[in-house]
Every structure is written in C-alpha cells, then in structure tokens.
Structure 1
C-alpha cells in the first residue's frame, strides 16, 4: 500500500511539473528522497511515469502532430517536421554521448539544487533581455529559432535545470513569444522524452516485473491526468505571468530543500 501511495504522489508530481519551467526531474528526485523511494525499482518507476506526461501531449496535440507530416521544407506553412528535427539535434547528440556520465554524476539532490538556481537565473535573464518578438505564434517560429531553442535544450540534461525552462528562455532570447516558445517546447519534448526514457527503460528492463505492473500503471495514469490539466492551465498562466515568477519559486524550493538536507 505504501508503494502505491508513493506511485500516486510521484505520478502527480511528474504530471504537474513536467511542462512547467520548474524541472520535473528535480522534483522527482527530491520527492523520492523525502519518500525514501530510491531503490532500483524506484528509478525504473521514474522512467515509466514520464510516459504518462508524453501521452498527455500526444492526446492534446494530436492534430498538430498529424500536421507535422508536411514535408514541404522550401515553403513551409507553419510548423513542420524539420523544425522539430533541428530542435532535437543538439540535445540528442549530447544526450547520447554523455548519457552514462549524466546518470552517474548528476542525479543527486545537491546537483538538482544547483540546477534549480542556475535555471532560475537564466529565466530571469530571458525575461529581462528577451528580443523583439518575431514569432508570436508557434507557426511563426523559424528554422533558426528552432535550432537555437534546441541548443538551449542541452542545458536541460542537467537535472533541475528544466527542459521547458531552458527552451522557453532560449525561445524568448531569440524572438519567440513566451506562449509560442512554451507550445514549441511541448511538441519537442515528446520525441526527446520518449527516446531518453526508452533507452533508460531498456537498460532497466530486469526491474520490470508483473508484480510491479499495478505500481507502474497507477503512476503513469496519475501523471497523464495531472499533466493534461497542467498543460492547459500553464498555457493560460503563461499569458499572464512573467517567466521570472517561476524562477522565484525555484529559488524558494532550492532554499527549503537545502535547509532540510543540512
């Protein structure tokens, strides 16, 4: 019963934070520490539960993903597959090359706290020095902007930095509106999350047992439901809140956990 409660809690945490610029990985690591849910099976659970968030994006943006099959790169009408490919290249290369080192050295509470603070500083910088908007909507994003956002996504390989926080900041620094950058982040997150989680899942397959199936399914379902609500809510909030407000939350969270961990 305790494991099932942990699964629900972590599923909610994943769904709530995956697409907010506050770092879902950081929240999962810190929450798992508090729950003392840290064995090898727990690490596999953290991988599985991310698929719930991926599924939420696929459901909400199913028409958008279908439209990505437009391969008219010379005269594209809005977002197409090449935008996504350009955004995936940088983090994809670094993720494959550094996957082992990242898992070994960076997945700890202390490194998460560093990532929370550093990512928050980037978000404040993006708010202060953002460029004049040239991409008001997601369909206005250029290939150059897509690649630039992909470069910023490399920062998200550090747990606690936040994929959405780094990519939204990168988009704003290169002329995308906060809303357009956020929606682009949701779309790009699906293939990179599915790829990274798929690799982790294959490497952790010995910990996938029939006995743990209810645990994984409950966590996945909780993440899917909460992520669906969170995405819709965040898109409404992003029109009203500056990115800096999320940075201040990150600073407060890092301070609280630093005190708890001392």
Structure 2
C-alpha cells in the first residue's frame, strides 16, 4: 500500500467524519469526492471500495458512542440520568419506534438503492430537495418549540420522525437533515432533534454496517488493512470533532445555512457533470 493511497484513505475518512452527522449528506459527499476526484476503484476493486466505506462509517459511529455514552447506556439500564425520573426519560422503545419505518424500507429496497441511486446525478437531486425541507423546518416549525429535552419526546413524535427519516434512503438527502427537520416540524427544538438523530443513528448505522461488512468480508485483502485502519481512525477523530462542534452550533444557526451550502454544492456538482 503506497503513501498516496493511505493519504486518500485519510481524506475519505475526513469527509465521512465531518459530514456523517451534519445535515449535508455524507453519502453525497463521499460519492462526489471519490467518483469525481480520488477514484479509489483505480486501486481497489468495487467490492473492496464498498467495504472500505463501511469501515470508515463504523469509525464515525464510534465517535457518537463516545459523545453520547451516558444517554446510550441509560437506554439499556446501565446508567441513571441525573435529575430525570426513570419513568419520564427517553426509553429504548422510543428509539426502536423511530427506527422502524426506515429500517423496514431499507431492508426491502436495499438492492434497488445500491444498484440505481448511488451516483453523482441522484445526489444532486437529494441535496436540493433535502435543502428545501430544512428551510421549511426553520420557517414553519413552532417559534417556541414545546419539546426542549429528549425526555419529553412522545412515541408519536418518534414514529413521525422515523417516517421522515425514510427520505434519507435517497443518497444526498441526508439522514440527519431529514430527521432534524422532521423533529423541528413536529415541535422539537433544534438541539433536541439533533440529539435524537444521533442516538437513533447508532443502532441503525451499526446494524447496517455490520451486515454490509459480513456480506463483503471475503473481499477484505490483507494488503489493504493499512488503508482501512487509516480511514477508520481518520473518520473517528474527525467525526468526534464534527459532532461536538455541530451540537454547539445547531441551536444558534438552525438549518438554513446548511441548506444554502447544499444548494451551492448541488449547483457546483451539476456544473461539473453537465458543462
């Protein structure tokens, strides 16, 4: 494995870590950066390249576990949240209810999505439509959201956020963009919607990643281990930075600046593709 290839792994880990939990679509950025610039399939076969993307996604998930370990442990009874009565706090069943819609659709349409929707062209569409949803959330969500903490989320809200999360199955739409927007429109403040998004991300992303890893295990080549490790560590470190920064920022700037960025990015990519 050459130094330039390790550098490409670090760059892709950076892209994954910095965009996975921001409402800008990590999948979209990965497709754009890899397909239009780095082209990892020039030195990895398609199966190994797909496996690498799963590995760096696991690095991002580990960062979420580090940031939210208390809340995640409380869901399974391994930690007691302070100043919250056990009967009033967010429960594992809230998370499960939120995961069901996208989880079911993802399993049913996984092959169709993988074969037909992973391209720069479809990402442009997802970026633009997702941006309009985010702008709508900022402008039509309640000015004084009734839900200020995770422990006030109802099962109905969790399920409705899960339904809106289904849009993120389209590459470029952004899972966090969809769920945060949905949460805000349903009465959650921006920070609470973001927290719920990150917590839901752990089981669904971990489950999907491990399934993909098992399916592609035979394509892992010992010669590529350094490439995988570099990408994993890069994604973990930059996701840790991104999550902490984003959680401090989201309550102040809301979603519209991210939506504007998405639209500009879509215009740039469309220009590269069609001009």
- TM class by shorter chain equals over 0.9
Q: How does 1:74-153 map to 2 (within 5 A)?
A: 76-131=87-142, 132-153=144-165
Provide the residue aligned with 2:31 in structure 1: 29
Deviation at 1:70, TM superposition (A): 4.5
C-alpha RMSD over aligned residues: 1.3
Deviation at 1:76, TM superposition (A): 2.8
Name which of 3, 6, 10 aligns with 1:4. Answer: 6
* SS of structure 1 residue aligned to 2:146: coil
Name which of 53, 57, 68 aligns with 2:60. Answer: 53
Distance 2:208 2:149 in 1: 28
Distance 1:81 1:242 in 2: 27
Structure 1 regions of 5+ residues with no counterpart?
none
Deviation at 1:107, TM superposition (A): 0.6
Q: How does 1:6-21 map to 2 (within 5 A)?
A: 6-21=8-23
Distance 2:214 2:104 in 1: 19
Name which of 210, 224, 234 aligns with 1:198. Answer: 210
1:168 paired with 2:175, answer no
* SS of structure 2 residue aligned to 1:121: helix
Distance 1:14 1:181 in 2: 21
Deviation at 1:133, TM superposition (A): 1.2
The answer to whether the 8 A contact 1:123-1:166 is kept is yes
Deviation per CA, 1:17-45: give whole Å up to 9, x if none.
00100000110111101111234122211
User: TM-score scaled to structure 1, two decimals?
Assistant: 0.96
Structure 1: 4+ residue segments shifted above 4 A = none
Distance 2:218 2:117 in 1: 23
Aligned residues: 259
Provide the residue aligned with 1:237 in structure 2: 249
The answer to whether the 8 A contact 1:70-1:81 is kept is no
* SS of structure 2 residue aligned to 1:47: helix
Distance 1:244 1:161 in 2: 15
Deviation at 1:59, TM superposition (A): 1.1
User: TM-score scaled to structure 2, two decimals?
Assistant: 0.91
Structure 2 regions of 5+ residues with no counterpart?
79-85
